[in-house]
Amino acid sequence: MYFYCMYRCILKKALLAINLIITGFVATAQKVMEPANVPAEWSKPYPAFQIAGNLYYVGTYDLASYLITTPQGHILINTGLAASASQIRAGVESLGFKFKDIRILLTTQAHYDHMGAMAEIKRITGAQMMVDSGDSSVVADGGRSDYALGGNESVYEPVKIDRVLHDKDTVSLGGMHLTMLHHPGHTKGSCSYLFDVKDKWKSYRVLIANMPTIVTEKSFSDIPAYPSIAKDYEYTLNALKKQSFDIWLSSHASQFGLHTKHKPGNKYDPAAFIDKKGYDSMINDLQTEFLKKVKNSSL
C-alpha cells in the first residue's frame, strides 16, 4: 500500500511538473509585448462620426478605424492598440449600431498600432478576419515575423485568419463591395480599400489608402527577409498616383489631416474629405523620401 501510494504520489508530482512546464511554455509562446513608448494621441479617445453615407470613423485621435455598416452586419477596418477595443465599441454604440453585428474584420497593414485589439474584437463579435496574403504570416504570429518590427515576442495577439485576400479581391457584405488593393512596402501585405458609399444626395468613391511610409532604418539592399522591398515601394507609389477617388482616408488620422478637416460635433459634411491636392502632395513627399532611401541604399 505504502509503495503503491508513493508510486502514485511521484507520478502525480511528475504529471503536475509536466503540466506546469507545458502551461509555462504556452504562456511564453502567447506572451504579447505591445510597445509602450508610443505617442499619447494614439490612445486618446475621439468621438465617432459619420464620414459619408454608411462609412463612419470609430478610431482614436490618431489611429483610424472605419466602420462600414450594412443591413447584413458591419465591416471594421483597423483597430488601434490593444486598449482601443473598448473605445471602438463605445464609438460604434454611440452611433446607434451593435458592436456584435460586426461580421468582417480588415486591416490596412499588420502593425501593432492597427492590429492591437483585433483578436479581442474577433472573440467578442465572432467576425471573419480577412488579410492580404503578404501579411498573413505576420498576423498569425502577432508581428514576430515582421521584416522591420519583428522579434522574439508578439507585439499584438495573433489572430486566426478566415480568408486570405489577393490584389483586387472583393470583400462583399450586405450590398457593399470593397476592392482590396495590394500596396506592399510598409509591410509585405499593406493594402488599401476602394468602395462606393452614397447618401440621399450623392455617391462617393472612397479610397482608404495605406500610405507607403518607410519603417526600416536599414538600407533596402540589407533586408534579406524582404528582398523585393524597393520594387514593392515603387509599385505602390505608382499605383497610388494613378488611383482615382472622391474621398481619401488613411491608416493614421494625421496622414489625411482629419483634425483640420473635421472637429468633434461638426455637422455631416462628406465634402470636407474631398482633397485630391492633399493626397497628391502626400504621395509626392513619400516618393521623394523613397528616392532618397534608394539613393542611399545603393551607395
Regarding 293 and contact with Zn ion (CB under 5 A), the answer is no
By C-beta, is 76 or 197 nearer to Zn ion?
76
C-beta atoms surrounding 130 within 10 Å? 20
For Zn ion, which stretch binds (CB under 5 A), given 106-114, 194-202, 219-227, 240-248?
A: 106-114
By C-beta, is 111 or 183 nearer to Zn ion?
111
By C-beta, is 95 or 149 nearer to Zn ion?
149
Which residue number has the CB closest to Zn ion?
111
Q: How far is the CB of 268 from Zn ion (least distance, A)?
A: 30
> Which ranges of the chain does DSSP label H, i.e. alpha helix?
2-29, 84-94, 112-115, 118-125, 136-140, 229-242, 253-256, 258-261, 276-297
For Zn ion, which stretch binds (CB under 5 A), given 105-113, 134-142, 177-185, 255-263?
A: 105-113
> How far are the Cα atoms of 48, 83, 108, 114 from residue 60, in angstroms, in the given order?
9, 10, 16, 11
d(CA 108, CA 208): 8
Residue 139, strand partner residues: none
Q: How far is the CB of 211 from Zn ion (least distance, A)?
A: 9
Which grid coordinates belong to 5? 501510494
For Zn ion, which stretch binds (CB under 5 A), given 58-66, 104-112, 130-138, 254-262?
A: 104-112
Query: Under a CB-based contact definition with an 8 Å cutoff, are residues 83 and 38 in contact?
Result: no
By C-beta, is 125 or 251 nearer to Zn ion?
251
Regarding 122 and contact with Zn ion (CB under 5 A), the answer is no
Size of the site for Zn ion (CB under 5 A): 1
By C-beta, is 115 or 206 nearer to Zn ion?
115
Q: How far is the CB of 52 from Zn ion (least distance, A)?
A: 25
By C-beta, is 107 or 125 nearer to Zn ion?
107
Selection from 212, 218, 250 nearest residue 231 by Cα: 212
For Zn ion, which stretch binds (CB under 5 A), given 46-54, 103-111, 170-178, 283-291?
A: 103-111
**Exposure string over 182-204, b if 16+ CB within 10 A, otherwise e:** bbbbbbbbbbbbbbbbeeeeeeb
For Zn ion, which stretch binds (CB under 5 A), given 89-97, 111-119, 155-163, 273-281?
A: 111-119
Selection from 106, 88, 115, 123 nearest residue 172 by Cα: 106
66, burial (CB in 10 Å: exposed 0-12, middle 13-18, buried 19+): buried
Q: How far is the CB of 106 from Zn ion (least distance, A)?
A: 15
Which grid coordinates belong to 139? 498576423
For Zn ion, which stretch binds (CB under 5 A), given 110-118, 138-146, 176-184, 194-202?
A: 110-118
By C-beta, is 89 or 252 nearer to Zn ion?
252
Which grid coordinates belong to 53? 453615407
**Out of 89, 111, 182, 183, which residue is the one contacting Zn ion (CB under 5 A)?**
111
Which grid coordinates belong to 253? 488620422
Q: How far is the CB of 12 from Zn ion (least distance, A)?
A: 49
By C-beta, is 101 or 153 nearer to Zn ion?
153
**Residues forming the site for Zn ion (CB under 5 A):** 111
